[in-house]
Structure 1
Amino acid sequence: MLRRTLAVILTIVAVLAAGWLALRRADIPYDTLETIYATPDSQFMTLDDGLKIHFTDTGPQDRAAIVLVHGFSASLHTWDAWKSDLEADFRVITLDLPGHGLSRAEDPANANIDRFVEVVHDVTDSLGVERFTLAGNSMGGNTAWKYALAHPETLDGLVLVAASGWPEEEGEGDDSPFIFTLLANPLAQAVLKDLDMTSLTRSGLEGSYTDQSFVTDELVDRYVALSRAPGHRATLLSIMAGERQYATVETISQISVPTLAMWGRDDNLVPVSGAQKFGDAIPGAKVIVYDAVGHLPQEENAVQSIADLRAFMLEVEWNALDDEVIIPAGDPRMSENRPEEDSPN
């Protein structure tokens, strides 16, 4: 009987091991990924510490600049619609954070918001961008508001797109995609680290959009493939396991730059209540909430979010011109329609 039980146990272990090996997926070399996911505007820079960063820098170099920072497990591709529209009138910079997209990974222990703030600063400094509007989605929004606290002197404006950072209240986060709950578990991380994550990734993306037509095979394949770049899976798991530095009203109220918070009302990842929290805490902040939109307004509601962003940036630009007082003769901005001031009534 003991031998039979032992044989059954060994058989089960062998089957599980065989299944694990069958589902195991190796890293994909950066060279291979670059041939597929680099864009005609892709550039790479090596920071002083040796980290190689993937970025784009398009649009008129002498116009107001905007820097766009993606969220957890995403890449600069999430900003394609915004970039395509804005680059006609603004200098537009997008980048992949370390361990994301086509940027190289570094020590997973460095994968945290403070490091991402440092990388954004190093990239803009290397490009000679002295002042800019900073926009970030989700984890990129967390990076953006922490950047605003660390380097307010460099910012013309701050755009928080479903930005993370506030602690969840009771009942919030109950509809979050299962993959995020699973990856927060250390045991699950150890088991799943090298396995095929296609199904779980698709599920997570389905929870990120209200309109499921956005969740195409191409989108899922891109998320999965880029997560398999060397070191990227370790980076993502380290972020999930890392200690959180949550926003507080006392901290956020110190942000002094013009701020726009935009959110999807049906966001299952970062509760829409965060929009008003930022609006209440940041002096003069504006809040826009889009109905029937999920966690990625820059994709799912591109047209309206671009229009709202343009209005915000134009107002920020005119305010900057007011501070400078002098507008050179022939400056193209003289022909633009200046936004009307809010009525005092």
Structure 2
Amino acid sequence: MLVYLSLAVATGAALTAWQAGRREAAAEASHPPQGQVLVVGRHRVHVVEMGRPKGSAPDLVLIHGSSGNTRDMTFRLAPALAKEFRILVFDRPGLGYSDRLNGTGATIRQQADVLRQAAAQLGAEKPVVLGQSYGGAVALAWAVDHPEALAALVSVAGVSHPWDTPLDTFYKVTSSRIGSALAVPALTAFVSRATVMETLDAVFAPQPVPDGYAEHFGIGLTLRRNSLRANARQRANLLSEVKALAPLYSRIGVPVEIIHGTADDTVSPNIHARQLVRDVPSAALTLLEGIGHMPHHVATDAVAEAVHRAAARARLR
């Protein structure tokens, strides 16, 4: 019986690994890198450059949120700003086509430093930095630790302050050693498109997922084993990192524009946006009535206007 059980387990593991690899290869074939790959230290960083030529307009860095990649920002927001800015859209470390920094989950401050160096390689020494959701925390870390290396900051539904709800069970499992070894490959191999679309529906609620978004975004990229592991560990560590960063917001002196939906139940505007505008003297808050967690897709013009205000306040031309 033990022999048969061992054979069954081995066969199941082999089948899962084969199916996971097959799905990963299909995802990368259908959604290959759109930009170039830089090397920062020993790590590869994928960046998509859009908009105006270098030196002809202000530089704008766009940082995606949890489980994201560059394609989240190139769907609507980057095209909406491409006529007025030179835009650099980065895959955060461990996601998209950027290498992970370590096996424990790169901190928001480590990620900010790597992206800052990557932007500088491309001549963006003092860009406007926009971060959405988790990317908002990375943008804040950039502003706290490297105030000389940005001109203004835009937080879109951004994480900024500690919260008191426990870590979601999904991330508890996938960030653990056992979950990383067993649950993550099973998710990559067998999770259905319908399940992923239900998750997208919840992220965009109360607005619908825009037509064409899932196809453009490439949900298969998010479901790759390395991406799932990196994202899970980053999410598991985020609360402690935000607790350490939040007391330092008084260091931020650049213009800050905060834009947040009042119906966002993923990143609460009361916990995050309202506290951030109190803690940063240079911050201005715009609340979008009835908008959920993805305003850069469902209220793109309002987010673009916030970027323009930030650039104007920084006296960029």
TM-score, scaled to structure 1: 0.75
2:204 pairs with one of 183, 199, 209: 209
Question: What secondary structure, in the 3-state scheme, does the structure 2 residue paired with 1:208 have?
Answer: helix
**Which amino acid in 1 is paired with 2:280?**
I
| CA distance in structure 1 between the aligned counterparts of 2:210 and 2:13, rounded to whole angstroms | 27
The verdict on how the C-alpha distance between 1:152 and 1:28 changes in structure 2, with shifts beyond 3 A counting, is farther
Aligned to 1:146: 141
1:245 aligned partner: 241
Moved more, 211-220 or 223-232: 211-220
2:91 is the counterpart of 1:96? yes
Residues 52 and 28 of structure 1: is their aligned pair in 2 closer, same or farther, counting only changes over 3 Å? farther
* CA pair 122-135 structure 1, distance change in 2 beyond 3 A: same
1:19-34 superposed matches below 5 A = 25-27=19-21, 33-34=27-28
Deviation at 1:130, TM superposition (A): 1.6
Q: What residue is the counterpart of 1:302 in the other structure? A: 300
Q: Which moved more, 1:129-138 or 1:308-317?
A: 308-317
Q: CA shift at 1:92, angstroms?
A: 0.8
| Alpha-carbon distance in structure 1 between the residues aligned to 2:12 and 2:22 | 21
Distance change (3 Å), C-alpha of 1:218 and 1:303: closer
Contact 1:55–1:96 under 8 Å retained in 2:
yes
Judge conservation of contact 2:105–2:231 (CA < 8 Å) in 1: no
Q: How does 1:97-246 map to 2 (within 5 A)?
A: 97-169=92-164, 179-180=170-171, 183=174, 188-195=179-186, 196-198=190-192, 200-211=195-206, 213-214=208-209, 219=214, 222=217, 224-229=219-224, 231-242=226-237, 244-246=240-242
Q: For 1:249 and 1:106, locate their aligned partners in 2 and report how far apart those are by CA, in whole Å.
A: 23
| Post-superposition offset of 1:242 | 3.2
The correspondence of residues 272-311 of structure 1 with structure 2, limited to 5 A, is 272-273=269-270, 274-311=272-309
What's 1:67 paired with?
A: 61
Indicate how the Cα distance of structure 1 residues 218 and 246 shifts in structure 2: closer, same or farther if over 3 A, else same: closer
What is aligned with 1:55? 47
Task: Specify whether residues 204 and 17 from structure 1 end up closer, same or farther in structure 2 by C-alpha distance, changes over 3 A only.
Answer: farther
- Give the partner amino acid of 1:264: G
Deviation, structure 1 residue 276:
0.7
Q: What is the Cα deviation at residue 312 of structure 1?
A: 3.0
Instruction: State the secondary structure of the residue aligned to 1:271.
Output: coil
Identity %: 19
Larger Rg computed on CA atoms: 1
Comparing 266-275 and 139-148, the one that deviates more: 266-275
- Superposed CA deviations along residues 32-74 of structure 1, whole A, max 9, x for unmatched, are 64542247xx322231433222211222222111100001110
Q: Which amino acid aligns with 1:246?
A: V
In structure 2, give the amino acid aligned to 1:266.
Answer: A
- The answer to whether the Cα contact below 8 Å between 1:59 and 1:91 also exists between their aligned partners in 2 is yes
- Is 1:68–1:136's contact at 8 Å kept on the other side of the alignment? yes
Answer whether contact 1:26 1:228 (CA < 8 A) is retained.
Answer: no
Q: Can you give the 5+ residue segments of structure 2 that lack an aligned partner in the other structure?
A: none
Report the aligned-residue RMSD.
Answer: 3.4
Q: What secondary structure, in the 3-state scheme, does the structure 2 residue paired with 1:144 have?
A: helix
Equivalent residue for 1:336?
none
The 3-state SS of whatever aligns with 1:47 is strand
Instruction: Give SS of 2:128's match.
Output: strand
Cα pair 2:260 2:287 within 8 Å, conserved:
yes
Change (3 A) 1:29 1:185: closer
Amino acid at match of 1:275: A
Once the two structures are superposed, residues 113-148 of structure 1 have per-residue CA deviations (whole angstroms, 9 ceiling, x without a partner) of 122112211211210212111010111111100110
Amino acid at match of 2:253: S
Classify 1:222/1:82 alpha carbon distance in 2 versus 1 (closer, same or farther; 3 Å): closer
Aligned residue type for 1:95: F
CA contact (8 A) 1:201 1:223 kept: no
Residue ranges of structure 1 left out of the alignment (5+ in a row): 1-5, 321-332, 334-345
